[in-house]
Amino acid sequence: MMELRSERFIMKKAKIITIVVILLLVLIVFLQNTQAVETKLLFLTVTMPRVLLLLVTFVLGFVGGLITASHVLRKPAKSKENG
């Protein structure tokens, strides 16, 4: 029983350390990409910090992935026909 508690504690600690390391890496990337960049969207040119462009691109990709996954994993509707 003691081993199970110890194993859970180690796993919780490993998860916390992993999350902290990932957050630090994200913070470093954000801090290194603060300069303004021009982005062309069809006929529009937008100037924004590179970090904002990275964030918007990430969020759009994440949402697109969620939508795609929900359509792929959706169960087909049962037909009401007697057949």
Measured in degrees and rounded to the nearest 5, phi and psi for residue 59 equal -65, -45
Rounded to an integer, what distance in angstroms lies between the CA atom of residue 36 and that of residue 51? 9
pLDDT digits (tens, 9 = 90+) for 1-50: 667 778 888 889 999 999 999 999 989 988 898 899 999 988 999 999 99
What is the structure's pLDDT at 11? 87
The verdict on residue 70 lying in a domain is no
Instruction: Report which of 23, 22, 29, 24 is spatially closest to residue 50, judged by C-alpha positions.
Output: 29
Q: What domain range includes position 47?
A: 30-64
Cβ(17)–Cβ(10) below 8 Å: no
Q: Find out whether 50 and 36 touch, Cβ atoms under 8 Å.
A: yes
The answer to whether position 49 is within a domain reads yes
pLDDT band at 81 (very low <50, low <70, confident <90, very high): low
Between CA 15 and CA 48 the distance in angstroms is 34
Structurally, the chain folds into a number of domains equal to 1
Predicted pLDDT of residue 74: 83
